[in-house]
Structure 1
Amino acid sequence: MAADDDDPSPPATVRDGRARFQVLSPTLIRMEYAPDGRFEDRPTFNAVNRDLPAPAYTTDVEGGERVIRTGRLTLRYRLNSGPFSERNVTVEPRDGEAAHPVWRLAGECGFGVPCEAELLRLSGGAALADDQRGSTGPGFVDGMDGTVAWTQRGVPAAGPRRVAFRYANGTTETQAALVTAGDTRVRVDLPPTGSWDDWAEAGAVLTLPAGGGNLSVGCAEQGLCAFNVDSVAVTATGVPYPPMPDAAHSAANLGGWRRSLDYADGPRPLFDGLLSRDGWFLLNDSATALADGKPRPARNSSQNGYQDGYLFGYGQDYRQALKDLRDLTGPAVTLPRWAFGTWFSRYYPYKDADYRDDILPAFRKYGVPLDVLVVDTDFKSPHFWNGWGWNPQLFPDPEGFLGWATGEGLRVALNIHPSIRADDPRYAEVTATVGHELPEGACEAGNPCRVFDFSDPVQLRAYFDLHRPFDALAPIVWWPDTCCDSSVATTPGISPDSWINAQYAAYIDGQGRRGFSWNRSGSGFTVYGESAVYPAGPWADHRYTVDTSMDTTSTWELLAFAARYTVLRGAIGMPYESHDIGGHNYPKNGNRLPPDLYARWVQFGAFQPVLRLHSNHGYRLPWDYPQPARDAAVKFLRLREALVPYTYTLARQARDTGLPMARGMFLNYPGFQEAYDFTSQYLFGDDLLVAPVTGPGTDGVRTQVWFPPGTWTDWFTGRSYTGPKVETITTDLGTMPVFQRAGGILPTRTDDVPAVDASPLDKVTLDVATGADGEFRLYEDAGEGHGDRAGELAWTTVRYSTAGGVTIGARDGTFPGAVATRAWTVRLHAVDAAPARVLLNGAEMDGGAWSFDADTRTVTIQTPPLPTGTPQRVSVA
């Protein structure tokens, strides 16, 4: 292990002149290049923890290269070759291909290589789009009455250079672009390309200084802006437009994120995530602000050549990659237990009386649990969009309404848009705190408003002061919808979404509650649309945010993509995704979905991290639909509530390990092509395979399911399947393809409750798929507050042995509200014949305490209340 003897750097550090490497794990190496030789040891907003156990590694110089080997990863850097680039760095994962990472930040471009235009700085009407074929990367830029701007790097010497770009012009007329470098502007004519799916190259020769500078492409003349831009490239003159240097790596990337799925009616391209089939990923942290939100010193800015990145080289060990990400960037936010129940939301001007007299009574009538009432934007006054008071026509007694909701065991969420009108009675409070007028900004539907800069601590305080009168009435669940107002967070090196989400989490934490934001993530505030990608990216959002896919359009294709989207969000360390269950918009047949589409959405939601019924004025409650869709939706909403002991444990696993709740098949079975091909099915935990139905029909609906190795038992029918193989599964609206792995143990709540926290968890059902040994650790804590941070939590280990039956361990740990006794219902699945005897702690149980269902091949055993502090054993003979 070679490091400079006088180097004050952290352990597991290797220095070579202006390059420094920190071996953080066998599959993760930090790489820094500092032109002045001064490195950065303070945490950044993304990388909050580098104090990891030093792994074994070796280093040497071979053939003019610094070589670092960990046993899982080899890194090579050509000595004295300057800043890191694809020309002087090689990564070799143990079970992957050798590769050359491209060092590039969003908003900048290197010399001689093209850059995706959508990753640059977009302004005016320029925006990310993805509705045309033939583009590279996650999309292209349209709305070229705006501008694509970037910082050019690496121009070797001053002189003429070609500034080129790839464009599409689907009109029949020549359009006109303006290429700008400093004070030089050159008009470029853009002939038609034949269609919007056909692309051509254009450009101009401009004199650039050594290094590069700031460049842009925009529209030269109003009325001639009808063109799209896919990528840009600065090269020597006379050189053909270059290929994407990392095209193969991008193709291998499994995808990961975008700011939202607003208006999507099917699949949409995603920005690259952490996981890639070629086994590596570079997280470029060079421009990210420090952990306290302050910009890095100028000497450490990317403009001065400083580089700071994290090279993940995991091969096919995707689970290790997610653990590395979790260890580096911090654990996921801990959500309160009630967040895993049922949320109801509708963009509709409900009155207080509607909730009291109609909505909640219907939930109670049909026996459907409800945990969260989401009150959308209409409740506000004086303006429904961004008012900071209650509309007295809808809520004449806000305190009474919130008190009623609390008494019914409900949490209330309020939609907030981050702006304020100058005529709002509370605007005077803001100006008194800030000391000046806020600037005017763009808000929804031309609404004149004043906007905040959340990077300014004083403005941030004034903004949250607007929330306090609401919280004084009851603890509010805040929905800070940053869809459509032009408030900003101007601190360089932080994504505005990430910054405001962090502030909401801190604000709520300060009240002694579990703070989280429920919002978009990873980019910047916009007026309905995708914004430019910020250098910091989405890598910190999991610490603060329940990501939401937002205003989707409900189709079968979108339902299938929603399942995949949750999985891929998990592939960037985001364990929680909140879809509008039912879809936000439905363009056909008025306000109701086809009954089968609605029922399948609810089924899907039952096995998602968060289930939130929502729509744009449309109906999304079971009793809005005819049979059999009504009963199917009621059944799965009840099931969702019963699953909370399981989902709450998966959430804790996500915090501790970095594994998402909904796990792509490739996480557990990376060597099987089917794990990548069957994109709409996933593992919910490691032992439950979920394959949402994504096609129409009410009876005899066929779904192709890939079963990995092992035996998997249908949760509804009891039939078992042995993989690896593909099977066609037939369902009606009352069932869906859900399968338990042999040895899998699934804890659910036995008793029906109107809300998650309505009563203690003193009755638990254990569904056990026989056929292999297995183990599950049930997690519990108080469900709210910060006691878990002080160790107020408990684990109960449940094991199944084909030889010895089910052993329920003594509870390890305790917390306020922990039950002293618990009645267990043990269901053994995939049992071919009734047992002769059933034993509890070695004593034979009375025949009335157990039963056998031959149709579903299930033995059901019910115990009396048993002490949770002592182990219990249930077995059959």
Structure 2
Amino acid sequence: MSLADYHVPEFEPVADEAAIVETDACRFTVLSSRLLRLEYAPDGEFEDRPSQAVWYRDQPVPEFSATRTDGTLEIETEHLQLRYAIGGGFTSDSLSIELTGLEETWHYGDSEDNLGGTTRTLDSVDGQTDLEPGLLSRDGWTVLDDTDRLVFDDDGWVTPRDAHDDYEDLYFFGFGHDYFGALRAYTDVAGDVPMIPRWALGNWWSRYWEYSQDELRGLMTQFRERDLPLSVCVLDMDWHVVDNPHHSGWTGWTWDDDLFPDPEGFLEWLHDEGLKATLNLHPADGVHPHEAAYPDIAEHVGIDPASGRPVEFDASDPQFLRGYFEHVINPLEDDGVDFWWIDWQQWRESPEMDGLDPLWALNHLHALDRTRDGSRPFVFSRWADVSNHRYPIGFSGDTVISWDSLSFQPFLTGSAANVQFGWWSHDIGGHFGGSGDPTEFGELYARWLQFGVFSPINRIHTSKMPYVDKRPWAYDGEVREALDDAFVRRHELVPYLYTMVRHNHARAEPPIRPLYYHHPEADVAYNRPNQYYFGSELLAAPHVREREDDIHLSRRPVWLPDGEWFDFETGERYESGFHTRYGDLDDVPVYAKAGAIVPLDGEPGFGDVEAPEALRVVAFPGADNAFDLYEDDGVTCASRDGDYATTRLAQSFEGDRLTFTIGPIEGIPEHVPDDRTYELQFRGVREDVTVSVEGAAGHSRAYDEDTRTLTVSLDDAGVGVDATATVVLDGEGTNLVAESDWRRSQLEELLWNLSMPAGSKPPLETHAKAFLAGERTDLDWLGNFAAALTDAQLRAIAETLVDAGIERLDYAGDDRLLAWNRTRRIDVTYQFATYDRTGTPFGHEGGFRHGSLPGYEVIELSEFETYDWAFTLEYDGVTSITYEGSASDTDRR
């Protein structure tokens, strides 16, 4: 028996003959001017079937030339020049590709400066783990080796290639630093990232716990009563029968009727509340006689149910796989299960088929199985390999509860974009470990959840530990406020995020983007592992370290690219370059670029992530911009056929005048609520501006000084297919941007929080504000307070005033110090010294540097791995901070 039709994609694996050049035992396919397929087959048998990774080789043929001269084949496109010495296969001497105009040449076998990809799991990881290679490199080229991947046969399932032992199948990406272009080319040949359902963008509640249906119903009701929105309820493994005579109980397919006496009724109740439900699966042990589905699937695979013989899990057998879905999975979906959490933690190889990873098989088929009723391909599972971008979303595994784990997750999420795997779901708050102490853990949980809000999927999760509680109301004070705010903010962001879902699907632009995607020629962009673009409009730099004891604020060095930036919440204006941010638990470092337009749900509610009737749009001055808000039915594949609507939100900025236009609606207007209301929040602008409106029956205005936000609410705005509404802010000759000084605000925050003699604070404030006002330019006065301040406190004051500092970065084995001095002050000095084992300094070439701190410098500590080292930074002779240790140290002060 073969797989069902909906389990078999529509492949286009055979390239146009005009794109193919053959010579000797080699075949070269020009897939684009920057993407080449390189095959070597000593027996002349080349592969035209789709592989696990590459499905669509039938691409438009670009212009290229192919010439043979004196035993050499040359293929030249607009961007690449391939040279192959005919005969003998691929070697470093026989095969090379030059990137035209980039002074970069690849020779077969070269290794690149790869920017990293992702990893299968974070199970039991406390902090960092190694990443698999990605599709991007600073060298401008990467090679995807597809040689060992399986191919699809005529029946739609995978099989080994049965190729010659020396066969090679390589894909050369020569995109330079056009990282978006490389990702688009990859999805062109490997398949698009599917649209994920809109409901997946809300808050998920997940806990490994023996919940009963009454307990879960009560818990969901508590969230609703507290106005804390959720969109997904996760049922971890104890939903099914665990105690049985056949295996350990991790695998299960039958509801535990002691906990869920009426599963269909419970799932219907969840749906009535607006929630989706997923069940956790560990499929490895197959289906045993105690399972309700056993008789049907046993007969399906040819086993006599009376024998009691288990139905073994076999990812290689289409007969088993079809029965798995038709007799085990689909009936549970008919009961009301919306999607599946595949928690495969077992073997990576199938005994019955060399090279088949069961996890890949589960991801592939579960995603496609959802399309049988017109739904989008969707599964929640671990990463298996490149091509998993087709099977969102990812479960990153059981993370240790620690600050190091939190610190690693933004970096991992950004790097995963390098294999187009943009929809990670982390265990927000961590899975196991930690103290559970409400004070100690509360801060970590709040910071983790704030990152979760500005990450692809926000799934709060806890292991089976009774003294770790992630219900927001289990905490008091500032922790409770931070948690509540995060829950609400996430659902507010759904309209913005859903447009990014469309961008990922249609443009191959991941929702989370490392800074180097947008600033590939800036070295500093490669040295900001915990900063990232959150969609097209925002830049996030979440706090990932605890508050320091004598400062009581979290420290966060931030680099902002060229241009003007605004704090997303407060409207404070920031210049480009480095600054160091210090913040309490209510501080979430998210920045909007000048001109940014961010649509939000104006009335976020429990179980409601539909296109909002009340649309709040936050817009920032400083530049022209346009944002096409995308909306559809949120769940089906109909959008592929153009069944969606976009509403253009656009502004033009002329310094003293800002014109903002809503509409018209393009596409299918039924996807936009008829009675939608619009609230425009112009953040970072002055209060004293004139407001005029066209296209609405009326309007009202209000101003919030704390956030520098002018709100214009439109009455009966007539936005439609042919209609628009326009709002004009007129400063009458004066720039609209509100005056602000983030340094002054941060200085006041520091002084409120520093543990220091209260009597020293007023004179320190006087000197500091005189410095900020330009009344003095020196820093020698700071030494007068050295006796009252710790080094960390001195650093906090100095970094706030002059934008000079140092940070240790240790990610994916790349340990380095990063120093910056934005205005290149000569009175900010440093000394870096290395010492050999006897304590003698200058033990290594380049191991002693001193003088004024450079504007930007990176010191690679791996160069000094056999030496101790120390880095001392001084502000006008006042020692502020010293880093010391060895390159193998874990000190990250």
TM (norm. structure 1) is 0.75
RMSD of Structure 2 on Structure 1 (CA): 2.6
C-alpha displacement at 1:721, in angstroms? 1.2
| 1:21 and 2:28 are equivalent in the alignment | yes
Aligned to 2:634: 783
Aligned to 1:363: 223
| 1:472 and 2:323 are equivalent in the alignment | no
Aligned residues: 694
Picking from 253, 259, 271, the partner of 1:406 is 271
C-alpha displacement at 1:388, in angstroms? 1.9
C-alpha displacement at 1:367, in angstroms? 1.0
C-alpha displacement at 1:421, in angstroms? 5.7
C-alpha displacement at 1:64, in angstroms? 4.4
CA distance in 2, matches of 1:705, 1:490: 51
Aligned to 1:92: 98
* Aligned amino acid, residue 299 of structure 2: A
CA distance in 1, matches of 2:632, 2:127: 39
Kept in 1, the 8 Å contact 2:693–2:725? The answer is no
* Residue 737 to residue 10, structure 1, CA distance change in 2 (3 Å): same
Aligned to 1:435: 302
CA distance in 2, matches of 1:267, 1:449: 40
C-alpha displacement at 1:297, in angstroms? 8.4
Residue by residue, what CA displacement relative to the aligned partner does 1:236-271 show, whole Å, maximum 9, x if unpaired? xxxxxxxxx63xx2xx11110221111111111111
Kept in 2, the 8 Å contact 1:470–1:476? The answer is no
Q: Per the alignment, in what secondary structure is the counterpart of residue 107 of structure 2?
A: coil
* Residue 313 to residue 490, structure 1, CA distance change in 2 (3 Å): farther
Picking from 662, 665, 673, the partner of 2:515 is 665
| 1:731 and 2:583 are equivalent in the alignment | yes
* Residue 544 to residue 864, structure 1, CA distance change in 2 (3 Å): same
Residue by residue, what CA displacement relative to the aligned partner does 1:762-795 show, whole Å, maximum 9, x if unpaired? 2211111210111211111101122212321112
Kept in 1, the 8 Å contact 2:647–2:663? The answer is yes
C-alpha displacement at 1:49, in angstroms? 1.1
Q: Per the alignment, in what secondary structure is the counterpart of residue 332 of structure 1?
A: coil
Residue by residue, what CA displacement relative to the aligned partner does 1:481-508 show, whole Å, maximum 9, x if unpaired? 1114789484455543222111101222
Residue by residue, what CA displacement relative to the aligned partner does 1:687-706 show, whole Å, maximum 9, x if unpaired? 20000101112953221001
Aligned to 1:637: 487
| 1:56 and 2:59 are equivalent in the alignment | no
Picking from 424, 439, 445, the partner of 2:290 is 424
* Aligned amino acid, residue 732 of structure 1: D
Aligned to 2:575: 722
* Aligned amino acid, residue 655 of structure 1: H
CA distance in 2, matches of 1:801, 1:514: 37
* Aligned amino acid, residue 86 of structure 1: S
Whichever structure has more helix as a proportion of its residues is 2
C-alpha displacement at 1:715, in angstroms? 1.0
Q: Per the alignment, in what secondary structure is the counterpart of residue 92 of structure 1?
A: strand
* Residue 415 to residue 593, structure 1, CA distance change in 2 (3 Å): farther
* Aligned amino acid, residue 483 of structure 2: A
Aligned to 1:70: 77
Moved more, 424-433 or 706-715: 424-433
Aligned to 1:499: 361
Residue by residue, what CA displacement relative to the aligned partner does 1:165-223 show, whole Å, maximum 9, x if unpaired? xxxxxxxxxxxxxxxxxxxxxxxxxxxxxxxxxxxxxxxxxxxxxxxxxxxxxxxxxxx
C-alpha displacement at 1:386, in angstroms? 1.8
The 5-angstrom pairing of residues 475-554 of structure 1 reads 475-484=337-346, 488=350, 490-492=352-354, 494-522=356-384, 538-554=385-401
* Aligned amino acid, residue 229 of structure 2: P
Aligned to 1:261: 122
Picking from 305, 322, 338, the partner of 2:166 is 305
Kept in 2, the 8 Å contact 1:329–1:539? The answer is no
CA distance in 2, matches of 1:871, 1:709: 33
Picking from 811, 817, 829, the partner of 2:683 is 829
C-alpha displacement at 1:844, in angstroms? 10
The 5-angstrom pairing of residues 644-683 of structure 1 reads 644-683=494-533
CA distance in 1, matches of 2:15, 2:346: 48
CA distance in 2, matches of 1:489, 1:650: 40
* Residue 697 to residue 63, structure 1, CA distance change in 2 (3 Å): farther
C-alpha displacement at 1:86, in angstroms? 3.1
Aligned to 2:236: 376
Q: Per the alignment, in what secondary structure is the counterpart of residue 98 of structure 1?
A: strand
| 1:37 and 2:44 are equivalent in the alignment | yes
* Residue 449 to residue 591, structure 1, CA distance change in 2 (3 Å): farther
Picking from 413, 428, 439, the partner of 1:581 is 428
Picking from 243, 251, 254, the partner of 1:389 is 254
C-alpha displacement at 1:287, in angstroms? 2.9
Residue by residue, what CA displacement relative to the aligned partner does 1:648-667 show, whole Å, maximum 9, x if unpaired? 11111111122210000010
Residue by residue, what CA displacement relative to the aligned partner does 1:602-621 show, whole Å, maximum 9, x if unpaired? 10000111010101123222
* Residue 410 to residue 489, structure 1, CA distance change in 2 (3 Å): farther
Aligned to 1:801: 652
Aligned to 1:774: 625
CA distance in 1, matches of 2:192, 2:130: 27
C-alpha displacement at 1:873, in angstroms? 1.7
C-alpha displacement at 1:315, in angstroms? 1.1
Aligned to 2:726: 873
Unmatched 5+ stretches in structure 2: 1-13, 244-248, 731-893
Residue by residue, what CA displacement relative to the aligned partner does 1:387-423 show, whole Å, maximum 9, x if unpaired? 2211122111112211211111111111111034634
C-alpha displacement at 1:449, in angstroms? 7.7
C-alpha displacement at 1:676, in angstroms? 1.1
CA distance in 1, matches of 2:684, 2:79: 40
C-alpha displacement at 1:559, in angstroms? 0.8
C-alpha displacement at 1:829, in angstroms? 2.2
C-alpha displacement at 1:290, in angstroms? 2.6
CA distance in 2, matches of 1:514, 1:592: 42
CA distance in 1, matches of 2:710, 2:15: 64
* Aligned amino acid, residue 52 of structure 2: F
Kept in 2, the 8 Å contact 1:710–1:741? The answer is yes
Aligned to 1:599: 446
Kept in 2, the 8 Å contact 1:417–1:485? The answer is no
Aligned to 2:594: 742
Q: Percent identity?
A: 34
Q: Per the alignment, in what secondary structure is the counterpart of residue 414 of structure 1?
A: strand
CA distance in 1, matches of 2:583, 2:103: 40
Kept in 1, the 8 Å contact 2:40–2:167? The answer is yes
| 1:861 and 2:712 are equivalent in the alignment | yes
Kept in 2, the 8 Å contact 1:96–1:315? The answer is no
Picking from 148, 168, 178, the partner of 1:287 is 148
C-alpha displacement at 1:322, in angstroms? 0.7
* Residue 820 to residue 421, structure 1, CA distance change in 2 (3 Å): closer
Kept in 2, the 8 Å contact 1:335–1:516? The answer is yes
C-alpha displacement at 1:70, in angstroms? 2.2
* Aligned amino acid, residue 393 of structure 1: D
C-alpha displacement at 1:726, in angstroms? 0.7
Kept in 2, the 8 Å contact 1:819–1:868? The answer is no
Q: Per the alignment, in what secondary structure is the counterpart of residue 419 of structure 2?
A: coil
C-alpha displacement at 1:430, in angstroms? 2.9
Q: Per the alignment, in what secondary structure is the counterpart of residue 709 of structure 1?
A: strand
* Aligned amino acid, residue 68 of structure 1: I
Residue by residue, what CA displacement relative to the aligned partner does 1:280-315 show, whole Å, maximum 9, x if unpaired? 1111122323345868888x5444433222100111
Q: Per the alignment, in what secondary structure is the counterpart of residue 138 of structure 2?
A: coil
Aligned to 2:733: none
CA distance in 2, matches of 1:845, 1:637: 33
Q: Per the alignment, in what secondary structure is the counterpart of residue 499 of structure 1?
A: helix
CA distance in 2, matches of 1:815, 1:487: 49
